[in-house]
């Protein structure tokens, strides 16, 4: 269980980029299914002007959401597929 907590903390604050290298912002938080622990969305903070060109859902507090289905990899950056965001 401790490993899962470390994984969650390691995602927060990571830069989100497209596979083409366009910066979208940083991970503010995540949403997940409480029963299974499955990731649902990344919540974006400090979004770049480029992200406004994408048709992303927003939270009630106007934070942008990136769906888990768009995530390609998580390492030094969170890499997402722009095609899955449009």
Q: Domains of the chain: which residue ranges? A: 2-84
Q: What is the pLDDT of residue 2?
A: 45
pTM across the whole model: 0.85
Radius of gyration of the chain (CA): 12
CATH for 2-84 is 2.30.30.240
Percent of the chain with pLDDT over 90: 65
Q: What is the pLDDT of residue 64?
A: 95
State the Cα–Cα distance between residues 61 and 25, nearest whole angstrom.
Answer: 17
């Amino acid at each position: 269980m401790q490993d899962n907590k470390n994984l969650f903390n390691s995602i927060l604050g990571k830069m989100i980029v497209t596979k083409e290298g366009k910066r979208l912002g940083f991970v503010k938080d995540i949403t997940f299914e409480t029963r299974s622990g499955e990731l649902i969305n990344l919540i974006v903070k400090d979004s770049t002007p480029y992200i406004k060109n994408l048709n992303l859902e927003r939270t009630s507090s106007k934070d942008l959401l990136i769906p888990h289905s768009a995530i390609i990899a998580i390492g030094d950056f969170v890499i997402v597929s722009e095609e899955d965001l449009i």
